[in-house]
């Protein structure tokens, strides 16, 4: 069948298996043709081709909750459970996931494979920094328990390893207590990129911070932005609606791609900037509105048209972040291929996981409507990112080449060494891992 990542590029034909239980999953591994490479796929929210292969195995049947330890604030669940399902269970009890990405519709297995981060990386690190244990199904059919203190190398290779060490079966996650289901949110206006960086520095005490950027602004307004700050707050009114998800709207079909152009995006950006500038007072909002604004629009990826879109997310070190991001914004603004969504975050220190994306610095995510003429621009952005010692995010990538990957991830050889030990025949691979020279060249 034809499948894609969330960006809907590329589209591939693959054998998709949906085992109904663990025995069926083990049988798929043992009966698999050695020449056929496979990868696990959760909720399908990675943007590019990291969960695409000749053979794709769905982990959605692993949607069970095993243990909820109220005394230690931990939850053990299957890899197919979504973050939304965990929050539905935990938020009414006064608990929250320590780290969440921009959508709640990510599976636990996917969150581990990408080692996702959120608006609080500068405070709390990544999703995998809060795991106490994971269970991994190896290529030979054996189950292996891993944690920060047990089978450590395999644990650090699996966290952020894009599903290449095996199939994640379940995980135990450390939760955090919160006062309620609401977030106290505040927005600050930056008239240019320099002001935005200053606002990040002056508001480091806020638990959550993220900035929207107008990537089409030029001249003195280059990088004009809105910085959103937030933290958990108690709901004095005890409103039951705080724990309910709004139905929202649905994009029922692909919108014509020509609707997203420089003129329409400039109009949107100008309007959005002016509205947020006027409404800068603190507000109390439901947690899902603050963390997952796009979850209220089902199939929002259709807004980019039938050809899909590419998200380009990169990270650069703190010392050179302003120059690097300014150079990228100059290049994008000049090209006219504006990003409909542009998000900037400040990041904290890197962890021990070999292929994890976050490190101390800043990360900028840009969404581009896919068109062939976009690719040369992205190659130019690659050169800027590498020149400033940066890297691209594997979970968002659909076209990075081997040179860019290996330059950005200096521990890739250590990862490859561990992968050869746990997967000596190279069973687990994806279109992405072959493209960036992480699997195809190893065997």
- Give the three-class secondary structure for 202: helix
Last residue of a domain, one of 178, 210, 240: 178
The model carries a pTM of 0.94
CATH number at 249 reads 3.30.70.2520
Same domain, 188 and 103: no
- Can you give the pLDDT at residue 273? 63
User: Is residue 46 domain-resident?
Assistant: no
CATH number at 74 reads 3.30.465.10
DSSP annotation string for 323-371: HHHHHHHHHHHHHT---S-EEEEEE----S-TT----SEEEEEEEEE--
Same domain, 72 and 153: yes
- Can you give the pLDDT at residue 269? 65
Same domain, 274 and 367: yes
The angle at the Cα of 322, spanning 318 to 325, to the nearest 5 degrees, equals: 105
Instruction: Provide φ and ψ at 433, rounded to 5°.
Output: -65, -35
Same domain, 291 and 350: yes
Interatomic CA distance for residues 87 and 77, integer angstroms:
12
Same domain, 134 and 260: no
The number of folded domains in the chain is 2
CB 123 within 8 A of CB 59: no
Q: Structural domain of residue 81, as residue ranges?
A: 65-178
Strand order in the sheet with 143-146: 65-69, 74-78, 167-174, 131-137, 143-146
- Can you give the pLDDT at residue 381? 98
User: Is residue 412 domain-resident?
Assistant: no
Closest CA to 417 of 85, 207, 153: 153
CB 389 within 8 A of CB 382: no
- Can you give the pLDDT at residue 283? 86
Same domain, 136 and 229: no
Sign of the CA dihedral with 36 first, then 40, 44, and 48 last: negative
Same domain, 295 and 159: no
- Can you give the pLDDT at residue 389? 98
- Can you give the pLDDT at residue 80? 97
Point out the residues of the chain with pLDDT beneath 50: none
- Can you give the pLDDT at residue 248? 67
Same domain, 156 and 232: no
């Amino acid at each position: 069948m034809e499948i894609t990542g969330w960006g809907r590029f590329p589209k591939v034909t693959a054998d998709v298996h949906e085992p109904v239980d663990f025995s069926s999953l083990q049988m798929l591994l043992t009966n698999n043709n050695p020449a056929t490479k496979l990868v696990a796929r959760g909720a399908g929210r990675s943007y590019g081709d990291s969960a695409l292969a000749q053979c794709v195995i769905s982990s959605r049947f692993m949607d069970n909750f095993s243990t909820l330890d109220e005394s230690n604030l931990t939850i053990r669940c299957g890899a197919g459970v979504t973050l939304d399902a965990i929050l539905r269970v935990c938020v009414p009890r006064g608990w929250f996931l320590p780290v969440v990405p921009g959508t709640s519709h990510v599976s636990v297995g996917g969150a581990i494979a990408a080692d996702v981060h959120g608006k609080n990386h500068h405070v709390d690190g990544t999703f995998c920094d809060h795991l106490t244990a994971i269970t991994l199904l190896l290529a030979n059919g054996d189950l292996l328990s891993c944690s920060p203190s047990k089978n450590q190398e395999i644990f650090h290779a699996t966290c952020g390893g894009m599903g290449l060490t095996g199939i994640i079966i379940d995980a135990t996650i450390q939760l955090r207590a919160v006062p309620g289901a609401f977030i106290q949110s505040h927005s600050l206006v930056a008239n240019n990129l320099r002001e935005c960086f200053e606002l990040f520095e002056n508001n480091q005490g806020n638990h959550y911070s993220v900035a929207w950027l107008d990537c089409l602004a030029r001249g003195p307004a280059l990088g004009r932005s809105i910085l959103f700050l937030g933290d958990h707050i108690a709901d004095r009114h005890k409103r039951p609606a705080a724990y309910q998800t709004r139905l929202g709207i649905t994009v029922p079909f692909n919108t014509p791609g020509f609707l997203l152009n420089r003129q329409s995006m400039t109009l949107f950006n100008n309007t959005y900037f002016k509205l947020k500038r006027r409404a800068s007072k603190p507000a109390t909002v439901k947690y899902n509105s603050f963390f997952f604004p796009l979850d209220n629009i089902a199939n929002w990826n259709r807004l980019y048209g039938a050809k899909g879109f590419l998200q380009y997310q990169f990270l650069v070190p703190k010392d050179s972040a302003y120059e690097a991001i300014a150079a990228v914004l100059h290049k994008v603004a000049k090209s006219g291929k504006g990003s409909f969504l542009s998000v900037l975050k400040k990041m904290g220190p890197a962890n021990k996981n070999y292929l994890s994306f976050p490190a101390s610095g800043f990360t900028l995510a840009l969404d581009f409507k896919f068109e062939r003429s976009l690719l040369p621009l992205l190659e130019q952005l690659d050169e800027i990112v590498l020149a400033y010692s940066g890297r691209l995010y594997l979970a968002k990538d659909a076209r990075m080449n081997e040179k860019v990957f290996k330059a950005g991830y200096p521990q890739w050889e250590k990862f490859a060494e561990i992968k050869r030990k746990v997967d000596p025949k190279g069973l687990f691979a994806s279109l992405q891992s072959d493209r960036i020279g992480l699997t195809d060249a190893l065997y």
